[in-house]
Structure 1
Amino acid sequence: MSPDQTSPQAARAVIREAVEADVLDILRLIKELAEYEKSLHHVQSTEEHLRASLFPADGAPGASALVAEVTDEDGSKRLVGMAVWYVTFSTWTSRHGIWLEDLFVQPQVRGQGLGRQFLTELAKICTDRKYPRLEWWVLDWNEPAIGFYESLGAVGQDEWTVFRIDGDALQNLADRA
């Protein structure tokens, strides 16, 4: 995840819910985030996967997205940021919450409050739906982001260790069923 930094351009930006026409731009922003996090080689997301998750032909979406849209002086619009999220469940609260999977604001438009606006919108969704938690990960080397999140009142959950199983290990475990 990446925090706000600096640029006057974002003053004309609005945060809105993503629409299906935004899928290619969201995929572009995912790749920009991955490059920032030095993990572009791990991105497996495709337009089809993203479209199926955010805007499925049948059933409810598995994820949602907010986007930051800038209107340029010539009236053209472009996406400069995204917040991709999904609903979680906590057995400890017996209620849902929001997991912010990725927050990204392009470097040239940071510093104008878009990161704060994204988190404010997500907090509003939580409170409107009576969700007690908004959670996310941040890379431990990303000190600007950590400082930004702490300035909003977020608290690191250092007592937990993240585990993941994927690839061959995931297939091997599934084969045991």
Structure 2
Amino acid sequence: MRRGFVLFFHNFSTFLGRAGIYLEDLYVTPEYRGRGYGKGLLRQLARIEVERGCMWLEWWCLDWNKPSIDFYLSLGAEPMKDWTVYRIAGDTLAKLAQ
């Protein structure tokens, strides 16, 4: 029985010349939340990170998702203050593609 999963991939900083890991998704089934499974999954991902010689683990979190933010902060995660996410989609994307 699966209790959760992480989906991740490598990324690369041209500024630092080093690789990191981007956490695309962390999911724990509702009945197992609050039991340490999320922390265990992130701990294993951190081990993979260290074994592969990567320099950071990063992800996005919606501003309104307080339970997740509190969880990440409890692990020592720090919100990025120097970066803003930009997106082009829909009609704007189609127009740019012309």
TM-score, structure 2 normalization: 0.90
Q: What residue ranges of structure 2 are gaps of 5+ in the alignment?
A: none
Equivalences for residues 151-162 of structure 1 within 5 A: 151-162=74-85
Q: What residue ranges of structure 1 are gaps of 5+ in the alignment?
A: 1-77
- In the alignment of these two chains, the number of paired residues is 98
Equivalences for residues 1-177 of structure 1 within 5 A: 78-175=1-98
Between Structure 1 and Structure 2, whose CA radius of gyration is higher? Answer: 1
Provide the alpha-carbon RMSD of the alignment.
1.3
Greater RCO structure (CA 8 Å; 6+ sep): 1
Distance 2:94 2:41 in 1: 36
Tell me how far 1:166 sits from its aligned partner. Answer: 2.1
Question: Given that residues 3 and 37 in structure 2 are in contact (C-alpha distance below 8 angstroms), is that contact kept between their aligned partners in structure 1?
Answer: no
CA distance 1:123–1:171, shift in 2 (3 Å):
same
List, as ranges, runs of 4+ consecutive aligned residues in structure 1 with deviation greater than 4 Å: none
Q: Among the aligned pairs, what percent are the same residue?
A: 49
